[in-house]
Amino acid sequence: MARPKVRAYVAAVPLSEAPELQGLLSKFCGLPDKRGNVVMMRLADAAMARLDQLVEAGLFGSRSEAAAFLVGAGIDAQSELFTRIRKHSAEMKRIRQSLRQVAIEALRSTSRSGAARSTRRRSQERDRQ
């Protein structure tokens, strides 16, 4: 399905460039020079249409700027979730490290016992000959 092309701006300058809105919007999407990270993502047609609406309405200068705003707003709206995750991060890290150690020890043990069985088998085969 072909995506509609972005049409001309409603205003000559996107509202995201308006001084009175820069402070409000920068909380969520950062200033252009602060957004140095690139994230590639796939979006459904409906989500892309919403980004295009924001650009066409003159609120943002690009899809990238609109998406950065929406991601920032979503993170802000889910601050309680991120607080909970942060509280458990150290515990999750400790558990992952413990599980890695258990796996390494199990693999070493299996490797040693497998080598011992192989040695016994060769010895038994020699005895039969």
In DSSP notation, 4-46 reads PPP---SSSS-GGGSHHHHHHHHHHH--GGG----------HH
10 Cβ neighbours under 8 A, 6+ residues apart: 56, 57, 58
pLDDT in tens, 19-37: 666 666 666 665 555 777 8
| Contact between residue 24 and residue 69 where contact means Cβ atoms under 8 Å apart | no
Question: How far is the C-alpha of 72 from the C-alpha of 69, rounded, in Å?
Answer: 5
pTM: predicted TM-score of the whole model, two decimal places: 0.56
Per-residue pLDDT, averaged over 90-114, amounts to: 87
Q: What value does the mean pLDDT of the chain take?
A: 79
Domain locations along the chain: 15-77, 86-129
